[in-house]
């Protein structure tokens, strides 16, 4: 099977984002959540800043300021807070309800197709999330809070995905992400400085290495790839191919962090994965090769 350029980009994105979840969980032991989100995002924004200011247009600035709020400030802030209250595997599964919500929003705002298989996938996804959420509500309050924060992060990302596809008429992935990450990073660091203490950060070699990986690869590079894929294919298709990320993140979290997940979470996660695969609605061979059906 021939793997096209898009296929290679999907593989890189899935692997990097899959590793980022347990790595972020580890890094949060050395840094408060909002400050870590700000450091991660601002680091990646600084790297992309020279590209962000080139040929800057009013449209690019207007759209990306909105996306800085949705895709960066809310998305990273909420997910890091969620990781403080729940296992990384669980948070990654709930955040990735984003593809299911994106499909619905793309149907309403972008007029993208929604056939019977995609609709069944949406139903399965919501059933899965419902099972996971019910399990957490029955458990500890802290886990329930983490689940809620993770869902809110996924909803924010879904809204940002559709906004980008609809309103960015002349996309420039590196410029777009440079603006979003710089603005979002400043906002997150500002909020973190007001609500958390810099003195609580345990600066060390391992923490700096984790921050570099999560910031440079898991944020800057990953979002550039995401933006490029989003420009070349339907929003629903790009979003749903990331269904492999929570699978990888959960496996790594169980093996690496020794996290334990209940049977209900595993069943709910399976429903989410089946739902996302159904929503994708693209033959595997064609999708990996980067060809349109």
Let me know: does 49 contact 165? Beta carbons within 8 Å.
Answer: no
Q: What was the pLDDT predicted at 161?
A: 87
Dist. CA 92–CA 150, nearest whole Å: 8
Task: Give residue-wise pLDDT tens across range 2-33.
Answer: 446 777 888 888 899 989 999 999 999 999 99
Q: What was the pLDDT predicted at 283?
A: 41
pLDDT band at 45 (very low <50, low <70, confident <90, very high): very high
Specify the higher pLDDT residue, 42 or 171.
42
Q: What was the pLDDT predicted at 179?
A: 92
pLDDT band at 288 (very low <50, low <70, confident <90, very high): very low
pLDDT at 50 over 90: no
Tokens matching residue 117: 């298989």
- The residues spanned by each domain of the chain are 5-289
- The chain-wide mean pLDDT, for the chain, equals 82
Tokens matching residue 142: 């802290």
Task: Give residue-wise pLDDT tens across range 128-139.
Answer: 777 776 665 565
Let me know: does 252 contact 15? Beta carbons within 8 Å.
Answer: no
3-state secondary structure the chain: CCCCHHHHHHHHHHHHHHHHHHHHHHHCCCCCHHHHHHHHHHHHHHHHHHHHCCCCCHHHHHHHHHHHHHHHHHHHHHHHHHHCCCCHHHHHHHHCCHHHHHHHHHHHHCCCCCCHHHHHHHHHHHHHHHHHHHHHHHCCHHHHHHHHHHHHHHHHHHHHHHHHHHHCCCCCHHHHHHHHHHHHHHHHHHHHHHHCCHHHCCCCHHHHHHHHHHHHHHHHHHHHHHHHHHHHCCHHHHHHHCCHHHHHHHHHHHHHHCCCCCHHHHHHHHHHHHHHHHHHCCCHHHHHHCCCC
Task: Give residue-wise pLDDT tens across range 232-286.
Answer: 665 556 665 666 787 788 788 888 888 777 788 788 878 877 776 776 554 434 4
Q: What was the pLDDT predicted at 42?
A: 94
Dist. CA 214–CA 26, nearest whole Å: 11
Task: Name the least confident of 89-103, 151-165, 172-186.
Answer: 89-103
């Amino acid at each position: 099977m021939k793997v096209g350029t898009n296929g290679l980009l999907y593989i890189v994105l899935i692997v990097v984002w899959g590793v980022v979840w347990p790595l972020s969980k580890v890094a949060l032991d050395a840094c408060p959540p909002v400050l870590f989100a700000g450091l991660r995002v601002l680091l990646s924004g600084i790297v992309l800043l020279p590209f962000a200011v080139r040929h800057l247009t009013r449209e690019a600035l207007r759209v990306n300021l909105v996306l800085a709020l949705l895709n960066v400030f809310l998305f990273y802030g909420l997910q890091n807070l969620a990781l403080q209250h729940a296992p990384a595997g669980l948070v990654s599964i709930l955040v990735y309800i984003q593809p299911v919500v994106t499909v619905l929003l793309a149907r309403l705002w972008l007029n993208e197709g929604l056939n019977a298989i995609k609709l069944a996938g949406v139903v399965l996804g919501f059933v899965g999330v419902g099972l996971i959420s019910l399990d957490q509500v029955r458990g500890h309050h802290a886990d329930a809070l983490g689940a809620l924060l993770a869902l809110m992060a996924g909803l924010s990302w879904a809204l940002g995905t559709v906004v980008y596809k609809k309103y960015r008429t002349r996309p420039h992935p590196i410029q777009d992400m440079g603006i979003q990450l710089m603005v979002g990073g400043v906002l997150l660091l500002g909020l973190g400085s007001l609500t958390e203490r810099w003195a609580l950060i345990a600066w060390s070699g391992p923490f700096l290495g984790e921050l570099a990986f999560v910031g440079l690869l898991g944020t800057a590079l990953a979002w550039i790839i995401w933006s490029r894929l989003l420009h070349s294919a339907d929003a629903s298709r790009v979003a749903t191919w990331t269904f492999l990320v929570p699978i990888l993140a959960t496996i790594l979290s169980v093996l690496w962090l020794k996290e334990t997940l209940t049977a209900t979470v595993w069943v709910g996660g399976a429903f989410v994965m089946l739902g996302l695969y159904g929503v994708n609605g693209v033959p595997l061979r064609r999708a990996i090769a980067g060809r349109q059906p």
